């Protein structure tokens, strides 16, 4: 499959710059993956498409203030360090800009309490950095770090919590699992009252999710690994749902990737580790039946994943209609239910 097959035209004015208020008032395009039928709703209408006995699976990762701005000790030049994955207590995998200032042995100073040394380069153009600090690292990071917004969002966010889901809990993500941004605590309560189960897994969003595909043949693309975790109570609930005939509805592509990584022979295992799973058309899903997702960037692995779930032609027909109907796209944009 060629990368060009996953391109589409998107007017710039349809890229959402602000989150919808209230959260659950965003638009919702519903795509029937069997028939290709499309309907238009608001996100708070989601309940009418869910049945008692279904389970919604959320990614409960929490975005950390992953962007640090410092200066190179030797020259005073400005350097940006973008945290991706924690390797040990003090060592992180990170992206460093400009890379020419980030050779092994270089020291970057962020404040009188925080600095890091570049240890080595990684296969994906990143760096392994070792932090030195006085105090509690998480508190210093909260003080000095910036919450990273995607580059296509050009305006500052007044409330940083709007780039967190209402159920965000496990710190460690470099980006938000944006399909979950549409949920409110009240909507989740009403979902449970209808007899629909809520399960939570964790995948810390890193380079694997947002790294662009740079190969003409998409099967040559290599995903960067990301940390995931499935706790026993989530695995038990999801497996019971499948046994009893309910549907597993993943909230976001990261929840899909977590579930598909941890499932063997149709059974979700309680486990944690690193996933490099790359899902594209032709993939046979092991446990996920349906999904809630946002509208994704052209040529992205996320667009390829939902094309695998619903069929490439049906997805692109839905995207064409979404553009015609002036839906908002990407992180702060509207939502899509594939069912």
Question: Do 72 and 140 share a domain, yes or no?
Answer: yes
Instruction: Give the domain extent around 128.
Output: 67-146
Question: Do 34 and 71 share a domain, yes or no?
Answer: no
In Å, what is the CA distance from 151 to each residue of 136, 155, 180, 246, 276? Answer: 30, 10, 20, 39, 24
Among 117, 146, 175, identify where a domain stops: 146
pLDDT greater than 90 at residue 210? no
Give the domain CATH number at 218: 3.40.1780.10
Residues contacting 239, CB < 8 A, separation 6+: 267, 268
Q: What are phi and psi of 272, to 5 degrees?
A: -140, 160
pTM over 0.85: yes
Burial state string for 31-63 with b = 16 or more CB within 10 A and e = fewer than 16: bebeeeebeeeebbebeebbeeebbbbbbbbbb
Question: Do 28 and 87 share a domain, yes or no?
Answer: no
Q: What are phi and psi of 299, to 5 degrees?
A: 65, 15
Split into its structural domains, the chain has a count of: 2
Half-sphere exposure in the Cβ direction for 171 (13 Å, CA): 11
Q: State both tokens at 217.
A: 């043949």
Q: What percent of the chain has pLDDT over 90?
A: 90
Question: Do 85 and 56 share a domain, yes or no?
Answer: no
Question: Do 290 and 237 share a domain, yes or no?
Answer: yes
Q: State both tokens at 324.
A: 């015609």
Question: Do 27 and 106 share a domain, yes or no?
Answer: no
Question: Do 25 and 55 share a domain, yes or no?
Answer: yes
pLDDT greater than 80 at residue 209? no
In a domain, 153, yes or no: no
Among 121, 146, 171, identify where a domain stops: 146
328, exposed or middle or buried, with CB in 10 Å at 0-12, 13-18, 19+? buried
Structure confidence by residue, pLDDT tens digits, 21-56: 999 999 999 999 999 999 999 999 999 999 999 999
Q: Which residues pair with 199 in a beta bridge?
A: 57
Give the domain CATH number at 125: 2.40.10.240
Q: For the chain, what is the radius of gyration of the CA atoms?
A: 20
In a domain, 123, yes or no: yes
pLDDT at position 211, please? 82
Question: Do 17 and 109 share a domain, yes or no?
Answer: no
* Residue 215 binned pLDDT confidence (cut-offs 50, 70, 90): very high
* Residue 199 binned pLDDT confidence (cut-offs 50, 70, 90): very high
3-state secondary structure of 188: helix
pLDDT greater than 90 at residue 206? no
Structure confidence by residue, pLDDT tens digits, 217-267: 999 999 988 999 999 999 999 999 999 999 999 999 999 999 999 999 999
Q: Which residues pair with 118 in a beta bridge?
A: 129
In Å, what is the CA distance from 113 to each residue of 139, 141, 144? Answer: 11, 11, 10
Give dist(CA 198, CA 82) in Å, integer.
32
- H or E stretch covering 161: none
In a domain, 92, yes or no: yes
Give dist(CA 126, CA 189) in Å, integer.
41
Q: State both tokens at 295.
A: 């509208």
pLDDT at position 314, please? 98
Question: Do 71 and 57 share a domain, yes or no?
Answer: no
Q: What is the mean pLDDT of residues 3-20?
A: 97
In a domain, 81, yes or no: yes
In a domain, 140, yes or no: yes
Q: How far apart are the first and last CA of the chain?
A: 25
pLDDT greater than 90 at residue 178? yes
Burial state string for 177-211 with b = 16 or more CB within 10 A and e = fewer than 16: bbbbbbbeeebbeebeeeebbbbbbbbbbbbbbbb
pLDDT at position 160, please? 87
């Amino acid at each position: 499959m060629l990368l060009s097959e996953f391109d589409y035209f998107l007017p710039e004015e349809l890229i959402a710059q602000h989150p919808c208020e209230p959260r659950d008032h965003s638009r919702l395009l519903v795509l029937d993956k069997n028939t290709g039928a499309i309907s238009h709703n608001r996100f708070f209408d989601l309940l009418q498409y869910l049945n008692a006995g279904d389970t919604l699976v959320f990614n409960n990762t929490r975005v950390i203030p992953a962007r640090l701005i410092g200066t190179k000790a030797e020259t005073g030049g400005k350097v940006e360090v973008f945290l991706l994955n924690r390797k040990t207590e003090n060592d992180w995998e990170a992206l460093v800009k400009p890379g020419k200032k980030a050779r092994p042995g270089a020291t970057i100073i962020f404040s009188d309490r925080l600095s890091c040394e570049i240890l080595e380069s990684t296969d994906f153009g990143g760096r392994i950095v070792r932090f030195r600090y006085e105090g509690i690292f998480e508190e210093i990071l909260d003080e000095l770090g910036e919450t990273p917004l995607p580059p296509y969002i050009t305006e500052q966010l007044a409330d940083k919590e709007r780039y967190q889901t209402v159920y965000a809990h496990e710190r460690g993500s470099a980006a938000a699992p944006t399909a979950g941004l549409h949920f409110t605590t009240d909507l989740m309560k009403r979902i449970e009252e209808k007899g629909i189960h809520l399960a939570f897994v964790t995948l810390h969003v890193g380079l694997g999710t947002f790294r662009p595909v740079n190969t003409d043949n998409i099967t040559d693309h290599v995903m960067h690994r990301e940390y995931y975790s499935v706790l026993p109570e989530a695995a038990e609930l999801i497996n019971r749902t499948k046994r009893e005939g309910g549907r597993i509805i993943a909230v976001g592509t990261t929840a899909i990737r977590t579930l598909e990584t941890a499932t063997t022979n149709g059974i979700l295992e309680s486990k944690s580790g690193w996933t490099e799973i790359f899902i594209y058309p032709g993939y046979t899903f092991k446990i996920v039946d349906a999904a809630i997702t946002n509208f994704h960037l052209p040529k992205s692995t996320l667009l390829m994943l939902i094309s695998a779930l619903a069929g490439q032609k049906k997805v692109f027909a839905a995207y064409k209609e979404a553009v015609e109907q002036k839906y908002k796209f990407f992180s702060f944009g509207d939502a899509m239910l594939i069912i």
